[in-house]
Structure 1
């Protein structure tokens, strides 16, 4: 009898399975874990504005908390997260290319992933927190997925051309705030009132944040091409330069706005046209400087990984889950239809932010010990790739 040839079943695409924890680079996960603290500090400071407004006679601690937030947090941690997002997109592209996938297949995959980011982020922004970044990442990925095929020089040119757009937007917003004396409208009472508040505020924030995301996103793509965070030992000189220049430059660029926000300097609307873009642009340097510092720390920590390092890395591996969990915490703590806690003090906000972040570190470490991945990461991977067979 003639033999019938039976083709072997095709093995599952390795891209459908997450990278094992022991194969992951420490620096990106550590950066995400640490930067979630910066995100928490920024969000609680925002709630101190939405719920408490501007205190005509703030305490010394409140002034210090406000100035410290402007110098070290506002538009400092966010560029790093945006750069890490670009870094991750470039990693997916590189891995699929190494697996022999064509560009059309990879582009379709990344666009599908971006659409789910957009949908999840929109729900998050409308239902929980209007300062959502996930939908922003989805928009940027959809618009700029083609840059993955451009050369390094082209990426740098696009970043330089885009840089003034975000700076001008923030200059106008800051000048408008100085003229009206109001940063944001107060958060209203009631579920429906808060929902309408988010519906009106969210679209405007998305536009501003998209403008602010493109530059660090492109720099993240550029860094991923050279595996700066995956192989930090091979880029020590670059990392030391970025840290020694980026962080001091960021601090100096933020000082004028910090003095104005803390009430130490009475800046005019014309002053804000200059100090706001200075704060914005130097924030990019600060975000990259933070990334470089964490990458340098990971070189030492990776040799002798302790419990704290593992816990922070575990949080970074589940950053999307606990980013959303922070918003749930804010809704429970501050919404008028839940606990409705007053937030009139930026200094108290710092304590709340650190407490919530520390709780997520403990929860992430428990999940690591039990071998549990973040539910948001599991959902996004399943929606992007489909079920693993």
Structure 2
């Protein structure tokens, strides 16, 4: 089983944790309003990305067959196939790009925060990356091998090294990374086609999936053993598929932050519309090619070529999703959407790890051991219900606390100080 291509960057809590001063007094009031608007936009976008990540990750947690090239033989109806196609086209390999973009955007905010606090940024950021890496390793071994936090921790070191890159150069490097990765997959597809290799051994693959299913239904030691056996495949996928795209999105977020895109969103209304008009048709077409190759022709040169197509087109669909959410949560529009998504987005790290924990309790031997026993459509229903519960719980939690539990821990490690646990006015 291979991991879902998704996972969040470290979510900074709204307000000062993002390097945004709360403001006080009449002189600070004009600056505070756009800052608050920016926070809501970023948190709403992060919350939306969290939902997309869950809809992908849960498919891997619910079935050991998913990602192997074979689908669970117990769920092979037209409805099951349709749900798998929809997930692959709309969600897979798209939403981790949104998180990566926000990671790059928040990087500049954290840098500015350290400068205002007259604190050295590099030690702060290195402590943050170390905490993310440790959390990611524990997450991958105990709950879900498809963790993204370790990848972000490693790529964060590169981002730190190139933090002075000019926005235009960052965009050029990002585009080059997407193009070169896509071309790399195309060349691999050509080489495989000319050699006559590739293909899938259905019998051996099915045996491995059945063994993984039984292991995941076992006790804690059996579940952890299954995760450890999956990790080499996961690392391969992260290094050669996810990491280049994630770092490219880091750079795009860094460039957008330098230009203050979130602060002046109204100035980019036309650009957001153009992104939607271009991103949806091109991104969905690329997603359809990716889904068809992955579900109908696994292990073939066609699938390798489709991966290259997806690398090139998924950023456009992710950008179209982002443009849509940002237009929806613009002041005066869809306040209920922002009210639902933003609290979940403020507690992204807590919710991301919480999703894996709850799904592990549902689908592995840690709890109900339902892996391989729930059809694809109810799995989607579980994901939607879980996200709704998390959104409501996040909203309730943030009435009393300035940060989510894991965000509080990450902030404590980052700043090497104990942040407040409760809001001063909390009952």
The answer to whether the superposition gives a TM-score over 0.5 is yes
Distance 1:212 1:15 in 2: 26
1:128 aligns with 2:154: no
Distance 1:16 1:253 in 2: 35
289-298 or 342-351, larger mean C-alpha shift: 342-351
1:154 aligns with 2:169: yes
Q: Shift of residue 54 of structure 1?
A: 1.5
Q: Shift of residue 70 of structure 1?
A: 1.0
* Corresponding residue of 1:259: 292
Q: Shift of residue 76 of structure 1?
A: 1.0
Within a 5 Å distance, the mapping from 1:369-380 to structure 2 comes to 369-380=399-410
* Corresponding residue of 1:207: 239
* Corresponding residue of 2:71: 54
Q: Relative to 1, partners in 2 of residues 1:306 and 1:268: Cα closer, same or farther, differing over 3 Å?
A: closer
Within a 5 Å distance, the mapping from 1:187-202 to structure 2 comes to 187=213, 188=215, 189-202=218-231
Which of 389, 392, 397 pairs up with 1:367? 397
* Corresponding residue of 2:376: 346
* Corresponding residue of 2:200: 179
* Corresponding residue of 1:79: 97
Which of 357, 377, 385 pairs up with 2:387? 357
**Where does the alignment leave 5 or more consecutive residues of structure 2 unmatched?**
1-15, 23-31, 420-427
**Where does the alignment leave 5 or more consecutive residues of structure 1 unmatched?**
1-13
Distance 2:333 2:273 in 1: 21
Distance 1:267 1:58 in 2: 16
Q: Relative to 1, partners in 2 of residues 1:47 and 1:166: Cα closer, same or farther, differing over 3 Å?
A: farther
Q: Shift of residue 210 of structure 1?
A: 2.2
Q: State the secondary structure of the residue aligned to 1:50.
A: coil
Q: Relative to 1, partners in 2 of residues 1:50 and 1:101: Cα closer, same or farther, differing over 3 Å?
A: same
1:139 aligns with 2:169: no
Distance 1:372 1:132 in 2: 26
Within a 5 Å distance, the mapping from 1:217-256 to structure 2 comes to 217-256=250-289
Distance 1:250 1:92 in 2: 31
Does the 8 Å CA contact 1:70/1:257 hold for their aligned counterparts? yes
* Corresponding residue of 1:68: 86
Q: Relative to 1, partners in 2 of residues 1:60 and 1:305: Cα closer, same or farther, differing over 3 Å?
A: closer
Q: Relative to 1, partners in 2 of residues 1:268 and 1:377: Cα closer, same or farther, differing over 3 Å?
A: closer
Distance 1:49 1:211 in 2: 27
Within a 5 Å distance, the mapping from 1:253-292 to structure 2 comes to 253-263=286-296, 269-292=300-323
* Corresponding residue of 1:321: 350
115-124 or 156-165, larger mean C-alpha shift: 156-165
Distance 1:294 1:16 in 2: 20
Distance 1:124 1:268 in 2: 28
Name the count of aligned residue pairs.
368
Does the 8 Å CA contact 1:315/1:364 hold for their aligned counterparts? yes
Q: Relative to 1, partners in 2 of residues 1:382 and 1:35: Cα closer, same or farther, differing over 3 Å?
A: same
Q: Shift of residue 178 of structure 1?
A: 4.5
Does the 8 Å CA contact 2:18/2:109 hold for their aligned counterparts? no
Distance 1:49 1:114 in 2: 31
Does the 8 Å CA contact 2:286/2:310 hold for their aligned counterparts? yes
Q: State the secondary structure of the residue aligned to 1:179.
A: coil
Does the 8 Å CA contact 1:250/1:286 hold for their aligned counterparts? yes
* Corresponding residue of 2:7: none
1:43 aligns with 2:78: no
Q: Relative to 1, partners in 2 of residues 1:343 and 1:31: Cα closer, same or farther, differing over 3 Å?
A: farther
Q: Relative to 1, partners in 2 of residues 1:16 and 1:305: Cα closer, same or farther, differing over 3 Å?
A: closer
Distance 1:342 1:179 in 2: 23
* Corresponding residue of 1:4: none
Q: Shift of residue 327 of structure 1?
A: 0.6
Q: Deviations over 1:312-347 (max 9, x none)?
A: 211111111101110111110011241101435222
Distance 1:226 1:32 in 2: 20
What's the TM-score, normalizing by structure 1?
0.85
What is the aligned-residue RMSD (CA, Å)? 2.9
Does the 8 Å CA contact 1:64/1:262 hold for their aligned counterparts? no
